[in-house]
Amino acid sequence: MTADAEAGKKARELFLSGLNCAESVLVASMEHLGAKGDWFPRVASGFGSGICLSGRECGAVTGSIMALGWVLGRDDASVKTERLYEVGAELLTDFVDKFGTTTCKKLIGVELCDPSERKLAREQGYFEERCAPLVEFCGAWVAGRLDEERIKPA
């Protein structure tokens, strides 16, 4: 199994163990990079379920962007963000090509802000069935791209 596939599998395992989509992708990506920090899931917690249960941008995608920012982001305003934006746009394109949208509500077909719909989704295994593949895709995609970016000269 390739390193990026392993990172995708790890993201899926983290998701199925109880972390949300954004947390799972970010933690798996950081582990893949060898980065240490107990704050990784915490910073991503609010991005699960389409950002705070809103059903908007998929948490696997937002967790991916956070991981990309770890490598390609900036520490001050003098650093350009073009490379981060280019790679992020590639992720979005690849995700939409594979899954049709980046909108959580459209991906899983549930109004997550409605507690009864969320409960029904859990009972019927929607998150395992519909979200786990998204998390695995993003975990693998990000790991592969971060490996490529780390070996490129600045």
d(CA 113, CA 42): 20
Q: What pLDDT sits at residue 148?
A: 81
Q: What is the mean pLDDT of the chain?
A: 93
Give residue 154's pLDDT band: very low, low, confident or very high (50, 70, 90): very low
- Domain edges within the chain: 3-149
CA angle 144, 145, 149 (to 5 degrees): 125
Range 118-133 average pLDDT: 95
What b/e string do you get for 119-152 counting C-beta neighbours within 10 Å, with b at 16 or more? eebeeeebbeebbbbbbbbbbbbbbbbbbeeeee
The owner of tokens 């859990």 is: 122
pLDDT above 90: residue 20? yes
* Contact present, 59 and 47 (Cβ < 8 Å): yes
This prediction has a pTM of: 0.94
Q: What pLDDT sits at residue 22?
A: 98
pLDDT above 50: residue 54? yes
